[in-house]
Amino acid sequence: MKAEVIQSLLEKAEEARKKSYSPYSRYPVGAALMAKDGTIYAGCNVENVSYGAALCAERNALGSAVADGQRDFTAIAIIGSHEDYTMPCGICRQVLSEFHVPLIICGNSSKDYRTYTLEELFPSSFRAEELKH
Ligand SMILES: O=c1ccn([C@H]2C[C@H](O)[C@@H](CO)O2)c(=O)[nH]1
């Protein structure tokens, strides 16, 4: 993926991060998911007084994209902390795996990031084919 495209995803993730509702953890996260047609869907974490009801930025971005009819994606960028690279949680890895989001860009600012393949972050995943066994 071209550096300029990664840059624009990180910028969108950073914008969404500013809208995070995270009064309990005080850890705002933003995500930006690119569909194969180039459309970008943003999401932020939305927490709840019942802590377990919190929704992560990545899953909110994916939900918006799917509701808009998207099923094929090229990459997702995530920004949480500005001190460290923000890695997706286990549940988000499972959900990204469902839609085969192939590239995960973990940023700590719009300029500094690391990229991982889905396979690197979520190897040997549980697959739909297994339900047929
Ligand atoms: O990849 C991540 C990791 C954490 N969070 C959120 C969940 C919770 O609101 C806060 C602290 O865990 O960060 C995300 O949105 N994405």
ipTM of the complex: 0.98
pLDDT tops 90 at residue 133: no
Cα–ligand 1 centroid distance for 90 (angstroms)? 11
Distance 12 CA to ligand 1 centre (A): 17
Please tell me the CATH code under which domain 3-118 is placed.
3.40.140.10
pTM, two decimals, is 0.95
Coil, strand or helix: which one is 34?
strand
Is the C-beta atom of 56 inside 6 A of ligand 1?
A: yes
The answer to whether the CB of 45 is under 6 A from ligand 1 is yes
Instruction: Report the C-alpha gap between 79 and 12 in whole angstroms.
Output: 10
Q: CB-based contacts of 82: which residues, under 8 Å, 6+ apart? A: 108, 109
- Give the number of C-alpha atoms closer than 13 A to the C-alpha of residue 9, restricted to the C-beta side: 33
Mean pLDDT of the chain: 95
Q: What is the pLDDT of residues 45-73, one digit of tens each?
A: 999 999 999 999 999 999 999 999 999 99
CB of residue 25 inside a 6 A radius of ligand 1: yes
Whats the size of the chain, residue-wise?
133
